[in-house]
Amino acid sequence: MRKADGAQKWGKWLALGLLLGLLTRPAMAQTAPTLLPLPAEARYGQGRLPLKAALKPLLPASVDAAVAGAVGRTIGRLSPATKTVGTATLQVRYGRVGRPEKFDEERYSLRVTPMGVSIDAPTSLGVLRALATLEQLPRPDKKGRYLPEVDIQDQPRFAWRGLLIDAARHFMPVAVIKRNLDGMAAVKLNVLHWHLTDDQGFRIESKVFPRLQTVGSTDGLFYTQAEVREVLAYAAARGIRVVPEFDMPSHTTSWIVAYPRLASNDSVYAPYTKWRTTNVAIDPTRETTYTFIDSLLTEMTALFPDPYFHAGGDENDGRNWRRTPRIVAWMQAHNMTKADGKTVDKHQLQTYFNRRVLALLQQHGKTMLGWDEILGPDLPKEVIIQSWRGKKGLNDAVKLGHPALLSSGYYLDLNLTAASSYLTDPLPPDTPLTPAEQKLVLGGEAAMWAEFADSTVLDSRIWPRAGAVAERLWSPQPATQSVADMYRRLNVLSAQLETLGLRHRRVPELLLKQLAGTGSVAPLRTLTEVLEPVKEYKRHFQGFDYTTATPLNRLADAAPAESEVARRFAVLVDSVVTVRPGAPGFLPPAPRQVALLRAQALRWQANDVLLQPLMAANPSLTEYAPLSARLAGVAGVVLARLTQLQAGQAPSAAWLAATRATLDAAQAPAGQAELAVVKAARKLAGL
């Protein structure tokens, strides 16, 4: 047996041989592990188990439905082209049915030999995780696909590994949620945080307060309770918990539109169809508010079996309360004032509200979660804090004795790189937390807010980047971080996810076809591949007026959240710019790297001529014409610089100045998208 110890070994191997990695990618794919997340320990052997025929399941007599179903799915996915059952077996043994809501063990061992596969785990949850690993093991050879001989011992680093899906801003139909649950299962994420209500929509049927969904959802789209149960069953069969979020006291315009008696001030509310935060909040001073919430929670806590329940609490600046004399008087009467004894303190009122909601949830046996804004010295310790505004929220929460989750750094909607999420660790080696405090860090959640993601483009905004978060939360903390190896495996995962039914690759291509109309899609693809939507919250602030009804079918929506073409371009650039011409130790760059870069730049340069007529003829593309022209400009810089590097020439001051101007201009966004290759071009140019 050859030992290959997950992240460390392969990380070093790749860090040493970046060029080798680029040159030998096809050969490496045969041997390097493709698992994501990496298991705690894996020893690979030389043997192979061919997958021509289906594996024969050997299950315990007492097998539960979730394991039986999962084994069936795995066998089908391993050998999709056959119904023939071979002699090789898939033997499954486990101690008992696992309870995910109790953070039951997910540990497993998985052995593949040329004779068959065996899985052993203390609980059924470990079996489900082992099957996810098994589905990522197949490799191609001349005869078809095979499983490599391997012995894996694995367990998660964090118990809570979530994905938040915002189904309130844009409604996400059941089929969309289900295929994303399949994606979650593939990377061992185990909590779906279902954000069901927000200003723009109340997306779940209440039988007690039906106006919530009929009036509160501006487009009339919501989950029936039967559909919710269907999703819960689908998730449970994959060992995934579902934690609902009913965001209060702010983010509640939809509630107030439906039931005006909840309002803090007496204005008339219309359905809210924009995206910016409203700071509208329900009235925490009236007893009728709690009667309402109690009835709603009685209904919803019965529907969702998980013992955890998210009550939101984010983004309430208190303006709604401070501007209502009745509420101000109530706060003064209850001594909710700052040190001067007069100015009312919104935070005290929010804490009062949280305590009331907490008490209601506790009556229903639930543990409450809330966003980091609700943290304060008077908040009872059992409330779990989810940190989104920064790492500080996580550390402050556990220092005050709260269990906590990290989401800051894992916001997929901000279109940041997979690497940035990957390098965000809830407990980095330099964590300021004591061992006892560290135990309170339950894990984290990737978050997919949906202002700029409808049900069509959602998958492409989540995947494959959520895989980077999944690995950070599952795999042991590595001694060395190998971002390059993470990306290699993320690409393998991306292909696997499409076979599971996710549409992150298909849908952008379909959008491009729509936009190209009768024209050729190829030049549009060449441009869009190196575009990314603008980062962070910039899409709100670039002069384009979005509403809930704005279609998300522009080039900014087809563009990848993180451009893989641009990333590879940057890797190639890194490989040729180690030493500048004129500096000691300069060597001309390797011809192969130069040839690849030159071919890429020539394609970009030629693309603009092909694309401009299409863009001029199609009004929905015209706004992106400047980006195509600027890409040609960047390509010109790349070509000139490669010639300089090959000749060992230092650039003239005039060339540098002109290049700086070209690249500065190329960085400007258009249509809420930007070129993703400018930074690497700058590096290549020596700027």
Half-sphere exposure (Cβ direction) of 91: Cα atoms closer than 13 Å: 13
- Of the residues 315, 396, 509, 564, which one makes contact with ligand ACM according to CB under 6 A: 315
Cross-strand pairs, 42: 152
The answer to whether the CB of 354 falls within 8 A of the CB of 370 is: yes
Distance of CA 590 to the CA centre of its chain: 37
**Which residue, 213 or 408, has its beta carbon nearer to ligand ACM?**
408
**Which residue, 294 or 315, has its beta carbon nearer to ligand ACM?**
315
The answer to whether the CB of 39 falls within 8 A of the CB of 8 is: no
Rounded to a whole number of angstroms, the minimum distance from the CB of residue 315 to ligand ACM is 5
Distance CA 36, CA 463 (A): 13
Query: Residues 570, 659, 623, 619: is their CA dihedral positive or negative?
Result: negative
Rounded to a whole number of angstroms, the minimum distance from the CB of residue 314 to ligand ACM is 4
Size of the site for ligand ACM (CB under 6 A): 4
678-685 vs 564-576: helix axis angle to the nearest 10? 10
Distance CA 639, CA 637 (A): 6
Task: Phi first, then psi: give them for residue 492, nearest 5 degrees.
Answer: -65, -45
Known active-site residue 315: yes
**Which residue, 249 or 671, has its beta carbon nearer to ligand ACM?**
249
Distance CA 294, CA 290 (A): 6
**Which residue, 206 or 278, has its beta carbon nearer to ligand ACM?**
278
Site string for ligand ACM, 385-414 (x = CB under 6 A): ---x--------------------------
The answer to whether the CB of 524 falls within 8 A of the CB of 472 is: no
Tokens linked to 354: 């949280």
- Of the residues 10, 259, 272, 371, which one makes contact with ligand ACM according to CB under 6 A: 371
> What is the secondary structure of 329-389 as a DSSP string?
HHHHHTT-B-TTSSSB-HHHHHHHHHHHHHHHHHHTT-EEEEEGGG--TTS-TTSEEEE-S
Give me the catalytic one of 230, 315, 509, 564: 315
**Which residue, 33 or 313, has its beta carbon nearer to ligand ACM?**
313
Rounded to a whole number of angstroms, the minimum distance from the CB of residue 419 to ligand ACM is 22
Which residue of this chain has its Cβ atom nearest to ligand ACM in the complex? Answer: 314
Rounded to a whole number of angstroms, the minimum distance from the CB of residue 683 to ligand ACM is 33
Q: How many residues does the chain have?
A: 687
List of residues 6+ apart from 75 with CB closer than 8 A: 54, 55, 57, 90
Cross-strand pairs, 90: 57, 117
Least Cα distance to 354 among 332, 330, 325, 375 occurs for 375
Rounded to a whole number of angstroms, the minimum distance from the CB of residue 388 to ligand ACM is 4
**Which residue, 450 or 645, has its beta carbon nearer to ligand ACM?**
450
**Which residue, 199 or 205, has its beta carbon nearer to ligand ACM?**
199
Least Cα distance to 199 among 178, 169, 221 occurs for 169
**Which residue, 321 or 388, has its beta carbon nearer to ligand ACM?**
388
Distance CA 194, CA 167 (A): 7
**Which residue, 10 or 388, has its beta carbon nearer to ligand ACM?**
388
Distance CA 653, CA 687 (A): 11
Distance CA 296, CA 98 (A): 30
Applying the rule CB under 6 A, the residues between 7 and 26 that interact with ligand ACM are none
Half-sphere exposure (Cβ direction) of 581: Cα atoms closer than 13 Å: 17
* Amino acid code (one letter) for 89: T
314 makes contact with ligand ACM (CB under 6 A): yes
471 makes contact with ligand ACM (CB under 6 A): no
Cross-strand pairs, 58: 91
**Which residue, 151 or 315, has its beta carbon nearer to ligand ACM?**
315
Rounded to a whole number of angstroms, the minimum distance from the CB of residue 461 to ligand ACM is 15
The answer to whether the CB of 255 falls within 8 A of the CB of 212 is: yes
Applying the rule CB under 6 A, the residues between 254 and 273 that interact with ligand ACM are none
Q: Please count the helices (runs of H) and the strands (runs of E) in the chain.
A: 28, 20
Rounded to a whole number of angstroms, the minimum distance from the CB of residue 83 to ligand ACM is 47
Tokens linked to 305: 């079996």
**Which residue, 146 or 160, has its beta carbon nearer to ligand ACM?**
160
Rounded to a whole number of angstroms, the minimum distance from the CB of residue 462 to ligand ACM is 16
Rounded to a whole number of angstroms, the minimum distance from the CB of residue 447 to ligand ACM is 7
Distance CA 526, CA 558 (A): 12
Distance CA 522, CA 685 (A): 28
Site string for ligand ACM, 318-357 (x = CB under 6 A): ----------------------------------------
Integer Rg of the chain from CA: 27
Rounded to a whole number of angstroms, the minimum distance from the CB of residue 363 to ligand ACM is 26
How crowded is residue 80: how many other Cβ atoms within 10 Å of its Cβ?
Answer: 11
Query: Residues 286, 290, 291, 292: is their CA dihedral positive or negative?
Result: positive
Distance CA 168, CA 268 (A): 22
205 makes contact with ligand ACM (CB under 6 A): no
Rounded to a whole number of angstroms, the minimum distance from the CB of residue 371 to ligand ACM is 5
Q: Which residues bind ligand ACM (CB under 6 A)?
A: 314-315, 371, 388
Active site residues: 315
